[in-house]
Amino acid sequence: MLKICLLANAASIHTCRWVAYFLSRNHTVHVISLEPPLEVNPAAQIHVLPKKWPAKLDYFTSGQQVRRLLDQIKPDLLHAHYASGYGTLGRLSRFHPYLLSVWGADVYEFPRTSFLHRRLIERNLAAADHLCSTSKIMAIETRKYSDRPISITPFGVDCQKFQTLEGRSRGIPIVIGTVKSLEEKYGIEYLIRGFAQVVKKLQSFKRLRLVIAGDGSLKSHLQNLAATLGVESLIEFRGHVSHNQIPELLNSFTVFAALSIRESESFGVAVLEASACGVPVLVSRVGGLNEVVRNDVTGIIVAPRDVTAIANAILRLLDDPAVCARLGAAGRAFVLENYEWSENAQRMENLYLSVSSGAATRALGSKGMPAQLLYQ
């Protein structure tokens, strides 16, 4: 069994899931974090670093404290999550074997900010023995800044938790739904505009509902937009929904929409969760969303910001329940085959075992992407 140390946000749902999995496999797990956990697993050992400085300077000033903790813990490996923040602490720890996971904005946006930001990411990535990416497209983006070996390690979906629930509504009202933060990058505005077009084209529009789950800075703007378009009575802004409530919410949807406008969309966990529940999905053609949806097989892919295409896709799904059923069933089969949580988590465990035994070391760092894109 391994002694694993994660350098990550202890309050992140993804960190919590990794911790729970490795504990279930009888590994010892430590987490070093600048954020306190939302809930404490008594079997995990959480080390919360004190925050002393503003503007994320603690990532640069806490290296010595991390080194002291690692000297005490003596883990078999260290795994940092997020290349710009915890990746900096991971580099400053000088610990090996050392893995680093990229998450999205850390390789898509951060290094494009300035030369210094790019240089920081390059140094952080170079310090790792092995890199992890949740998607192939993000691994390709990461390759611009590093020649370290990369493994594809998706977050995965618990298909026992996310499944079609007995008694799921399939009739009226017909619900288009999304679960996203109300921020510009997630394209909620275009979903509302597309929904308004659908309402105009359907005479029996009262059977339609749009449910938007999530909070964010654009809530008032989006509510005003719905009023301007005359569809405010048909749209429910649900607010924040806890992760435990998501399966039931997804089962209330006829169609799930994820219409991000950012090319840096690294992965689509929410999309996979909807597919696992047998819900057909409508997504925009950006980033990692293209990897988690098969167009006209598990869902429909449209161009970002294309309101007419969004409306037409919704109309197509509403006009033919058989298409919805076919896409939903294929979506669940796709998730079971490619993104089932226990299988995906085992990929990471196998990688840990390989790295800790020395089978995946810095010697694997010969240049050339095909040899380094490893599928564990």
pLDDT bin (cut points 50, 70, 90) of residue 361 is: very low
pLDDT of res. 205: 63
170 vs 373, more confident: 170
pLDDT of res. 168: 63
351 vs 202, more confident: 351
Quick check: do 3-156+341-374 and 174-338 share a fold? yes
Tens-digit pLDDT profile for residues 12-34 = 988 999 999 999 999 999 999 99
| pTM, rounded to two decimals | 0.86
Give the CATH superfamily of 174-338: Glycogen Phosphorylase B; (3.40.50.2000)
pLDDT of res. 53: 83
pLDDT of res. 174: 87
Tens-digit pLDDT profile for residues 216-229 = 999 999 999 999 99
List % helix, strand, coil for the chain (3-state, nearest 5).
45, 20, 35
Percent of the chain with pLDDT over 90: 78
Which tokens belong to 128?
Answer: 């790792």
- Estimate the crossing angle of helix 188-201 against helix 219-228, to 10 degrees: 20
Beta bridge partners of 210: 176, 235
CATH architecture of the region 3-156+341-374: 3-Layer(aba) Sandwich (3.40)
Tens-digit pLDDT profile for residues 318-350 = 888 899 999 999 999 999 999 999 999 999 999
pLDDT of res. 44: 80
pLDDT of res. 207: 80
Q: What is the mean pLDDT of residues 122-149?
A: 95
Q: Any idea where the domains of the chain sit in the sequence?
A: 3-156+341-374, 174-338
Sheet holding 130-133, edge to edge: 45-48, 28-33, 3-7, 77-81, 98-102, 130-133, 150-152, 373-374
The overall average pLDDT reported for the chain is: 90
pLDDT of res. 202: 84
pLDDT of res. 206: 65
pLDDT of res. 363: 38
pLDDT of res. 120: 97
Contact present, 259 and 190 (Cβ < 8 Å) = yes
Examine the pLDDT at 368 and tell me if it is beyond 90: no
Tens-digit pLDDT profile for residues 167-198 = 665 556 789 999 999 999 999 999 999 999 99
